[in-house]
Every structure is written in structure tokens, then in C-alpha cells.
Amino acid sequence: MRGVAARAFSGLFALSWLVLPGFGVIDLSVTWNADWPQVLEAGWGLFATVIVAAAFVLLAVRPRAAMAGTAQLLVATLCLAVSAVAANETRLFVLVALLGLQTAIVGGLGEAWRERIEPLHPLSQFSRSLFLVAVAAAVPWLSYALHMWQLNRENRSDGDVSLGIDHYSVQGALALALVVLPVSAALRVSLRPFVPVCAGIAAFYLGVVSLAWPEAAGGLGRAWSIAATAWGLVLLVATFSHRIRVVPLGERPAD
């Protein structure tokens, strides 16, 4: 019964971030609409869907992968909290509290969750390729986050406010998550491939939207939009690179 309840709550919480109060799908649906600030809508939508809702969906359909889903939710909560302080967006603490409570319920944050924590063996769990890709973009994403938080502190909402929360603050939280998630996945095998795949998809889509709408509020600029798109794809390749085996010329696979 405990497992069934956890799945049910996970599905319910995923829906809350996809629709209300998360607005995930709603915001993503207007990222190609000229009447909306496309990049800021994409940032909020990606955080709510790809970072948060996807983690709840994983917990609902694959309880054995709970470590990856729970870790991503913890990182998302932390990034929102940091963003609320750095952007001086006090109303964002409402989402921090909501996500923290939801994560505590489905993740257990108690005996059931601790049982899934594996011992940390750096040499056996470390992914060099994934770590290098993650670190390569850390400074640009952190710089972007700092810029978004500054605009938020200056009340540069550009008319994009949801639940009384300026989208710039969530934009900064997404950028911070794109630093923390891939690095965490490089260090722990239990977070792969789910966590870096989510980060890669989010970076790729944000880059595509920013490239398509170069003058949009929160945009990355043409060069960085291309870089973000490419980085998202490279992150996906690095995530699955260990599964690709190159057969030397002349070597015949065994039957």
C-alpha cells in the first residue's frame, strides 16, 4: 500500500507541475507565440516539466529508479531556494515550500529513501566524459543565472509574471540546475542516464527557442544560443558514450 500511495502521489504531483500551479505545459505551449516572451516562458516551462514533473513521473513509473528522481527533485528545490534569495524574489519561496513538501512525501526522506543510497566509490562511478562536458558549460550557465537574478532584482519583469513570481528568478534557477545536475550525474552512476538526459533536453530546447527569438527577454544571444543547443546534444552523447563500443577494422563480432 505504501508503494501504491507513493506512485499515486507522484503522478498527482507531476500533474500539478505540468498544469497548475506549475504551468509547465501551458508555458511551453506559447514558446513559439509572438505575443509572449518566448525565452522566459521556455525557461519556466522547462523547469516545471523537464526538471520537476519528469522526476515525479519517473518515481511513479519506475520506483526502483527512485534515487535519480529524488535527487533531481532535491536539486530543483535547492536551485529554487537559491534563486529566491539571489533574485530577491520572496514569493518564489511558495514554490520552494511546495516542491520541498512534495519531494518529502514521495521520496520518503526517511528509511525508505536511505535504503536506496549506494556507497560512493568515486573510481567506479565517475564518468570523465560527462564531467568534462558538464564543467565546460558551468561558467556560462552560472553567468547567465547571475544576469537573470540581477534583472529580477531590478524588477525587469517584462510583463512575464506567474503566481506573482517574476520569471527571471525561475530562469536563474534553471541555469543553476543545468550546472548542478550534470556534475552530480557524473559523480554518481545511479543518477544516469535520467538526470543528464533531462538537463540535455532542457539546454537544447532553451537554446533553440532563444535562437529562434533573438530579441526575446531572457535570450542568450545568437552565439550562446547555438552553444547551448550544441552543449545539450553533446551532453546526451556523453551520457550514453560508455554504451558505444567501437569494433576495430577486421574484427568480427562473436556469434
Which region, left, alpha or beta, applies to residue 65 given φ > 0 means left and ψ of -120 to 50 means alpha?
A: alpha
* pLDDT above 50 (res 19): yes
Grid cell listed for 8:
499515486
For the stretch 182-221, pLDDT in tens is 999 999 999 999 999 999 999 999 999 999 999 999 999 9
* pLDDT above 70 (res 115): no
For the stretch 130-178, pLDDT in tens is 999 999 999 999 999 999 999 999 987 666 899 999 999 999 999 999 9
| Stretch 112-129: mean pLDDT | 59
Confidence at 233, pLDDT banded by 50, 70, 90: very high
Contact of 124 with 173, CB cutoff 8 Å: no
* pLDDT above 50 (res 102): yes
* pLDDT above 60 (res 114): no
The per-residue pLDDT for 112 is 42
DSSP the chain: -HHHHHHHHHHHHHHHHHSTTT-HHHHHTTTT-TTS-HHHHHHHHHIIIIIIIHHHHHHHH-GGGHHHHHHHHHHHHHHHHHHHHHTT-TTHHHHHHHHHHHHHHHH-SSHHHHTTPPP--HHHH--HHHHHHHHHTHHHHHHHHHHHHHHHHTT--TT-EETTEEHHHHHHHHHHHHHHHHHHHHH-GGGTTHHHHHHHHHHHHHHHHHHH-TTSTT---HHHHHHHHHHHHHHHHHHHGGG--PPPTTPPPP-
For the stretch 31-55, pLDDT in tens is 999 999 999 999 999 999 999 999 9
The per-residue pLDDT for 97 is 98
Contact of 182 with 134, CB cutoff 8 Å: yes
Confidence at 95, pLDDT banded by 50, 70, 90: very high
The per-residue pLDDT for 113 is 46
Rounded distance between C-alpha atoms, residue 197 and residue 182, angstroms: 9
The per-residue pLDDT for 1 is 66
100's CB contacts (< 8 A; 6+ apart) are 77
* pLDDT above 90 (res 109): no
Mean pLDDT is lowest, of 13-27, 81-95, 205-219, 235-249, for 235-249
The domain spans of the chain are 2-243
The amino acid at residue 23 is F
| Stretch 86-108: mean pLDDT | 94
